[in-house]
């Protein structure tokens, strides 16, 4: 197949190029397009950009087929980058936890925590009574500690 035939197939399409049942109008349009392409091709050849003495159209179209357009990291590179990122995050999170000041929990939150722990221990079998007594001592100590610092609301606070 010559270069002109390949060019014609490219413009017209494989199906239409192989069939001989075309109208005169379609044939004239196709010939005009083909002639225009031939002129452009000769201009390109004349400028010295492409020499097609022994090259076919497919050779010209496939010149850049094997160029590397994108690269993908290998599995080893992905694992290495993830491990490096994780090492940095572990060190950062450890140092962040040291500097963060935790807010003190509210009194009701603390008392609810004592109740939750008591219920959890009650569900366990063979739990020694000393654990419950120690937990109750802690709860009473906390209530006494916070009740000393608590202020009684004035009656006017309820009517605002």
From the list 28, 30, 38, 35, the residue with the least C-alpha distance to 12 is 30
pLDDT number for residue 116: 92
Does residue 148 form part of some domain? yes
* pLDDT value, residue 112: 92
d(CA 124, CA 30): 90
User: Does a structural domain hold residue 136?
Assistant: yes
- Residue 76 covered by a domain: no
In this prediction, residue 15 carries a pLDDT of: 46
Other beta carbons within 10 angstroms of residue 8's beta carbon come to: 20
Q: How far apart are CA 139 and CA 22, in angstroms?
A: 98
What does the pLDDT look like over 62-115, one tens digit per residue? Answer: 766 766 677 788 889 988 988 888 776 665 555 555 667 888 888 889 889 989
Q: Are 52 and 3 in contact (CB under 8 A)?
A: yes
Task: Answer whether residue 98 is part of any domain.
Answer: no
- Condensed to tens digits (0 to 9), the pLDDT of residues 112-142 reads 998 999 888 888 888 888 888 888 899 998 8
Q: Please, what's the largest Cα pairwise distance for the chain?
A: 107
The answer to whether residue 96 sits within a structural domain is no
What pLDDT is recorded for position 1?
58
Is residue 137, in this structure, part of any structural domain at all? yes
Domain that holds residue 35: 3-19+26-61
Calculate mean pLDDT across residues 19-33. Answer: 69
Residue 143 tokens read as 């209530």
Nearest to 146 by CA among 104, 107, 105: 107
Q: How many domains does the chain have?
A: 2
Is 57 a domain residue?
Answer: yes
110 assigned to some structural domain:
yes
Work out the pLDDT band at 17, boundaries 50, 70, 90.
Answer: very low
Model confidence at 146: pLDDT above 50: yes
Specify the higher pLDDT residue, 27 or 66: 27
pTM: predicted TM-score of the whole model, two decimal places:
0.33
């Amino acid at each position: 197949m010559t270069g002109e035939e390949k060019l014609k197939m490219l413009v017209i399409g494989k199906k239409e190029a192989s069939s001989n049942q075309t109208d005169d109008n379609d044939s004239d349009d196709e010939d005009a397009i083909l002639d225009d392409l031939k002129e452009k091709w000769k201009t390109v050849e004349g400028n010295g950009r492409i020499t097609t003495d022994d090259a076919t159209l497919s050779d010209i179209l496939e010149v850049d087929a094997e160029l590397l357009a994108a690269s993908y990291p290998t599995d080893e590179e992905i694992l290495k980058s993830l491990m490096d990122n994780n090492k940095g995050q572990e060190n950062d999170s450890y140092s962040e936890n040291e500097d963060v000041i935790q807010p003190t929990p509210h009194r009701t939150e603390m008392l609810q925590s004592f109740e939750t722990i008591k219920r959890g221990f009650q569900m366990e079998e063979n739990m020694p009574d000393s654990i419950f007594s120690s937990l109750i001592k802690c709860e009473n100590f906390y209530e006494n500690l916070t009740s000393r610092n608590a202020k009684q609301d004035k009656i006017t606070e309820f009517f605002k």
